[in-house]
């Protein structure tokens, strides 16, 4: 009985061991289930910025493998580029400045403009402004790292070569002495020429209206006579004096020395003297670079516009002008060739295309 119980126990143990082995060798696939697979990593979008680290290389997991990207060719911020090359970082708002030694790099956000060591470059991708710095694409990052690294390497080589070594001075061969200059024979001085004295200008006697034209102060050395037209139909000395003094702000008032009226606000052919003539001051009627016509030219203005239609000075104005020009020529020795119009001194049409120059030259001889 005991042997039969022991035999039954041993068979039970063997059967349980075989069942355990059979159940252990069975896989979930045999039972109709599939093992769970790990999801494949999808590649990053092309425009998505990769994470930046301080290691020289970083890696990106793709669907099949892991790719290592060099630091110089991955997207970086301007602050990281400055830290990588040992440059000072300064954000000026409209641009970011990276500087160190003699190197200055300016990066303008929102544009494709980069200035490196004073030279402007146009990169392919614009710089993007983030919260505290500027983000650059990998193409712009590689370009900046290459340019900055090359410049800093050249700068270090230059410092190493020239440090502590005096610059060699160029050696020049001494030039041969110059031959002595031949002695010149003494020249006998030429006899002094006797230059005849210039005759004093002939002064006419003050007769009629010419008596009041003589200035009460010391007379100036006048060399030219410049004739103008007022470019309007009504005027006199008081009108132009008020305009030049108050509107233009000229201290001495009217820029002309004489004004000849046309019968509108003064008599027809009436000659009016301005404060510049009575005080013998320079004129303000013909501005040139050397200002010679203002300093030594008598300005005469005829009221009227002789550049419109066939308008000309009246006969009374021409008679008064001829009398005044002849008196000025005789008193100050002014040649007839030195009687000019405003158009001869400056770029203007004054005193107008209808002004009778031939009559004035003929009568003022």
The per-residue pLDDT for range 178-203, each reduced to its tens digit, is 888 888 878 788 777 777 776 655 54
What interhelical angle do 138-162 and 78-85 show, nearest 10?
Answer: 20
Kindly state whether residue 342 falls inside one of the protein's structural domains.
yes
Residues 114 and 250 grouped into a single domain: no
Residues 250 and 143 grouped into a single domain: no
* pLDDT for the residue numbered 303: 94
Q: Pseudo-torsion of CA 268, 269, 275, 277, nearest 10°?
A: 180
Residues 149 and 232 grouped into a single domain: no
Residue 8 pLDDT more than 80?
no
Please tell me the distance from the alpha carbon of residue 111 to that of residue 122, in angstroms, as a whole number: 9
Kindly state whether residue 22 falls inside one of the protein's structural domains.
no
Residues 87-122, buried b or exposed e (16+ Cβ, 10 A)? bebebeeebbbbebeebebbbebeeeebebeeeeee
CB atoms under 10 Å from CB of 53, counted, come to 12
DSSP 105-125: EEE-BTSSEEEETTEEEE-SS
Listed residues 153, 171, 204: the one ending a domain:
153
Kindly state whether residue 282 falls inside one of the protein's structural domains.
yes
Listed residues 129, 153, 177: the one ending a domain:
153
Residues 359 and 266 grouped into a single domain: yes
Kindly state whether residue 98 falls inside one of the protein's structural domains.
yes
Residues 357 and 234 grouped into a single domain: yes
Residues 238 and 141 grouped into a single domain: no
* pLDDT for the residue numbered 150: 87
Kindly state whether residue 217 falls inside one of the protein's structural domains.
yes
Q: Among 25-39, 144-158, 344-358, where is mean pLDDT lowest?
A: 25-39
Residues 278 and 358 grouped into a single domain: yes
* pLDDT for the residue numbered 7: 61
Residues 228 and 339 grouped into a single domain: yes
Listed residues 153, 173, 200: the one ending a domain:
153
Residues 348 and 216 grouped into a single domain: yes
CATH number at residue 325: 3.40.80.10
CATH number at residue 116: 3.30.457.10
Residues 218 and 323 grouped into a single domain: yes
Residues 252 and 327 grouped into a single domain: yes
Please tell me the distance from the alpha carbon of residue 132 to that of residue 121, in angstroms, as a whole number: 24
| For range 110-135, the mean pLDDT | 86
Residues 218 and 335 grouped into a single domain: yes
CB atoms under 10 Å from CB of 25, counted, come to 8
Residues 6+ apart with CB under 8 A from 180: none
Six token digits for residue 39: 């999801």
Kindly state whether residue 81 falls inside one of the protein's structural domains.
yes
* pLDDT for the residue numbered 128: 87
Q: What is the pTM of this model?
A: 0.45
How many structural domains are present in the chain?
2
- Taking Cα atoms as reference points, which of 307, 131, 297 lies closest to residue 231? 307
Kindly state whether residue 335 falls inside one of the protein's structural domains.
yes
Residue 267 pLDDT more than 50?
yes
Quote the percentage of the chain above a pLDDT of 70. Answer: 72
Q: Give the confidence band of 317 by pLDDT, cuts at 50, 70, 90.
A: very high
Q: Which helix (H) or strand (E) holds 301?
A: strand 297-302
Kindly state whether residue 46 falls inside one of the protein's structural domains.
no
Expressed as residue numbers, the domain containing 112 is 62-153
């Amino acid at each position: 009985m005991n042997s039969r119980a022991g035999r039954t126990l041993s068979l039970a143990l063997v059967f349980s061991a075989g069942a355990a082995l059979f159940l252990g060798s069975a896989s979930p696939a045999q039972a109709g289930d599939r093992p769970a697979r790990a999801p494949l990593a999808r590649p990053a979008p092309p425009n998505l910025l990769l994470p930046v680290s301080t290691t020289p290389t970083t890696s990106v997991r793709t669907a099949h493998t892991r790719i290592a990207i060099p630091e110089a060719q991955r997207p970086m911020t301007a602050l990281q580029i400055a830290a990588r090359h040992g440059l000072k970082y300064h954000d000026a708002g409209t641009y970011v400045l990276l500087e160190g030694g003699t190197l200055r790099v300016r990066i303008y956000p929102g544009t494709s403009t980069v200035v490196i060591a004073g030279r402007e470059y146009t990169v392919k991708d614009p710089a993007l402004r983030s919260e505290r710095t500027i983000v650059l694409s990998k193409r712009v990052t590689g370009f900046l790292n290459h340019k900055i690294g090359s410049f800093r390497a050249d700068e270090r080589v230059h410092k190493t070569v020239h440090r502590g070594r005096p610059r060699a001075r160029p050696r020049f061969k001494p030039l041969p002495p110059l031959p002595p200059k031949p002695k010149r024979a003494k020249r006998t001085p030429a006899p002094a020429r006797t230059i005849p004295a210039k005759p004093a200008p002939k002064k006419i006697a003050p007769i009629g209206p010419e008596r009041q034209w003589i200035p009460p102060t010391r007379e100036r050395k006048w060399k030219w006579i410049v004739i103008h037209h007022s470019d309007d139909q009504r005027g006199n000395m008081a009108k132009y004096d008020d305009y030049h003094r108050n509107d233009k702000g000229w201290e001495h008032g009217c820029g002309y020395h004489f004004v000849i009226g046309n019968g509108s606000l003064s008599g027809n052919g009436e000659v009016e003297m301005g404060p510049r003539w009575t005080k013998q001051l320079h004129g303000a009627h013909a501005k040139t670079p050397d200002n010679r016509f203002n300093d030594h030219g008598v300005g005469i203005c005829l009221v009227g516009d002789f550049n419109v239609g066939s308008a000309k000075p009246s006969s009374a104005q021409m008679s008064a002008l001829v009398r005044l020009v002849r008196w000025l020529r005789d008193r100050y020795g002014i040649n007839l060739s030195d009687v000019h119009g405003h158009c001869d001194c400056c770029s203007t049409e004054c005193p107008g295309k209808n002004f009778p120059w031939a009559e004035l030259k003929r009568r003022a001889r």
